[in-house]
Structures are given as structure tokens and as C-alpha cells.
Amino acid sequence: MLLLWLGFIGFVLTLLALDLGVFHREAHVVKVREAFIWTGVWLSVALLFSVFVYFAYEGHWLGVGSHVDSIDGVVNDGRLAVVKYLTGYVIEWSLSADNVFVIAMIFTSLGVPARYQHRVLFWGILGALVMRGAMIGVGAQLVARYHWILYVFGAFLVFTAIRMVWPGGGDDKDPSQGFVLRMTRRYFRVTREYHGSSFFVRDTVGRLMLTPLAVALVLVETTDLIFAVDSIPAIFAITTDPFLVATSNVMAILGLRSLYFALAGAIDKFRYLKYSLALILGLVGVKMLAANWLKAVIGPNFNFVLLGIVAMILLGGVLLSLYMARNDPTAPAPTSIPEPVDVGAGVPAEPTEPTEPIEPADTTR
């Protein structure tokens, strides 16, 4: 199993190196057409990886899938592993759509230049992969030792779903006005102006300062951590197999950047998507709470049925949103994009303004 994990990590690092070091080496504004192309590329990679999942679990390569999946009490063969992998991928990908709107709020409120947004998202997603990997590792250990934790996860997902649709309970808060930004400005020196693609600069006396681009990165990382609190339990509602949980989650996160650039400009058109996401969270929460009963009623194919229901709910929310937007284009979106804020407010003026940029690991030039 160790070789399998090392191979997957190497595969992901290779994809990230090609993305930033080859295909997006030069900072540029990502157009919608390019974003949709890359969305298709990442989707194709995820689907091709499902072929590997099938053969790995069918042959139990390096011992993968040789243990009973405690979510349904069966050993995952190739077909069942693919169904669980794709279900987890679709759920995580759909929850990422909600993350897109918050990222759009962050970039707009901080006035992040369009040509540097991909750089922020790249490093943000790299950090997200590390954080989610740690959370999945902890979650897998908890589930292995305490089976009852699955019911806690299920109840939490149902609660989260209700909160999302409850009046005032699921309103998006502007991260640029929140606790994290206040703490960042309190404990770190932040410049008022952007300095190209640099996250750090030094002032005239050599003191290290953050740029607004670094502040945006901190907020993106924090936002993903908050969303992971919902998405990680949702994946464990599908399977407790650590490899399936991790791979479905990582593959969905890798496509988040292109999904953002594809949808950010039209996010207000998907005003009913939140209700679809709430329904999906509630569904997987109930599935986690009543897995044995559902398996007895629906039969051994209930994971495949769940995949179809999740896909239909997501598609229904998208189609309803587009239909309503076309027939009522003047209707307001559920939330609004905030006005830009000055993240460097309170930073002493000259002569401490930075003159020497620091560009660690800057491969975008």
C-alpha cells in the first residue's frame, strides 16, 4: 500500500508541476474558453484515473481494497470501487461550486489582478491538498477505531444541510471583513499596493511584509479549510476506504481552479445551486445514518443508485438556475460581491513602504 500511496502522490505532484511550470508558466488572464478547456482536461484525468481504480481494486494490487469497507460491510471489487470513487468525486466537485463564489468574493473585495489569480489558486490548492490529506488521515483513523463516529458525521451533514437552506443560516459572509483578515493585519505588516506576483516584500529597513496577494492566499486557504469540514465527512458517507476517499477528493480539488475561472463570471446565474448542494449533503448524511436499512431496501446496488441521484440533483439545480436566469434576468442573486477593501489599512506609511520584492519559488515568470 505504501508504494501505491507514493505513486499517487508522485502522480499529483507531476500534474501540478506541469500545470504551473509548463502550461501556466507565464502569468496571464485566464479566459472563459481556456477555463472550460482545462475543466475538460481535469475531468478527463479524473475519469481516466477511475480506470486505474477499477483494475487496482479488481486485482487488489499491493493489497488495496482487501479490507471490508465499514460503511456497507463489503470488500470493494473493481466495479464497486469505481462507483464509490465517482460518487465521492461528484459530491466533492459539486461542493466546490459553492467554494467558487466565496473565492470570487475574496478576489473582488481585495482587487486581486486577474493575471495573478491563477497563481493564488495554485498555491492555495497546494495547501488545501496538504490540509485535506491530514484531515482524511485523521478521519480514517477515527472511523477505524470508533465506528460510531460515522453517525456523528451523518448527523453533522444533515445539520449543515438544514443550516444552508434556513433563512439567514447559509448566507455567505465576506471573508475580507472577517476574523482571519483582522488577525493577519494585527500580527503581520501588509502593504497597501500589489507588487507583481510577489507574496512577500521587504521595506526600506529590511523588514518582511505581506502583499495583498499573500492576504488573498491566506483567505483562500482558510475558506477551503472551512469547506473541508463539510466535504470530508460527505466523502466518508460514501466509503471509509482511505485511498478512495483521498483520490476522489484530490481529483476534484485539482479541477477547482479551472472551475473557478469557468464559473466566476456567471456565478450569479446559479442562484438555486445552493439548494441542490444542501439536498446532496442531507442525502449523504441520511445515507450515513441509515446505510444498513438502505442496503436492505434498495439492494446491493444502492451505491450506484446514490451516484445517479446525486448527479440528477446537481444537474437539476444547474438547469433550474439557468432556466430562471433566462426568464428573469433582472432577479437579484442570493448574495452580492462586496466593494474592494484596503487590506493594508493601519500599516505605517513611508519610509517603511517596500522596495525589494521577495519571490520564493516564483515559476510564473
- Rounded to the nearest 10°, the torsion over CA 301, 308, 228, 221 is 140
Residues 103, 174: Cα–Cα separation, whole Å: 10
Assess contact for 163 and 169: CB atoms under 8 A.
yes
Count Cβ atoms below 10 Å from residue 339 Cβ, excluding itself: 10
Assess contact for 97 and 263: CB atoms under 8 A.
yes
Assess contact for 364 and 199: CB atoms under 8 A.
no
User: Which cell goes with 147?
Assistant: 465506528
174-209 as b/e, with b when 16 or more CB fall inside 10 Å? bbbeeebbeebbeeebbbeebbbbbbbbebeeeeeb
Look at residue 108 in the predicted model and tell me its pLDDT.
86
Look at residue 364 in the predicted model and tell me its pLDDT.
43
79 strand-pairing partners = none
Assess contact for 108 and 338: CB atoms under 8 A.
yes
Omega within 30 of 0 (cis) for the link into 175: no
Quickly tell me which residue has 485539482 as its cell: 254
Rounded to whole angstroms, what are the CA distances from 112 to 174, 204, 213? 15, 24, 7
Residue 4 host element (H or E): helix 2-18
Count Cβ atoms below 10 Å from residue 20 Cβ, excluding itself: 18
Look at residue 262 in the predicted model and tell me its pLDDT.
83
Domain parsing of the chain, residue ranges? 31-174+229-338
357 strand-pairing partners = 201
pTM of the model: 0.82
Look at residue 6 in the predicted model and tell me its pLDDT.
94
From first to last of its 365 residues, what are the pLDDT tens digits of the chain? 889 999 999 999 999 888 877 777 777 788 888 888 999 999 999 999 999 999 999 999 998 988 899 888 889 999 999 999 999 999 988 887 778 888 888 898 888 998 899 889 989 989 999 999 999 999 989 988 888 888 999 899 899 889 888 876 555 555 556 788 888 888 899 998 899 889 999 888 888 999 999 999 999 999 888 888 878 898 898 999 999 999 999 999 998 888 888 887 666 677 788 888 889 989 888 888 887 788 788 877 778 888 899 889 989 988 888 888 787 655 544 444 444 555 654 444 344 444 444 444 444 44
Residues 29, 329: Cα–Cα separation, whole Å: 27
Look at residue 150 in the predicted model and tell me its pLDDT.
87
Q: Any idea what DSSP says for residue 190?
A: B
User: Which cell goes with 349?
Assistant: 506609511
> CA quadruple 249, 252, 255, 257: dihedral positive or negative?
negative
Look at residue 136 in the predicted model and tell me its pLDDT.
92
Strands 200-203 and 354-358: antiparallel
3-class state of residue 171 by DSSP: coil
Look at residue 307 in the predicted model and tell me its pLDDT.
86
Quickly tell me which residue has 491538498 as its cell: 129
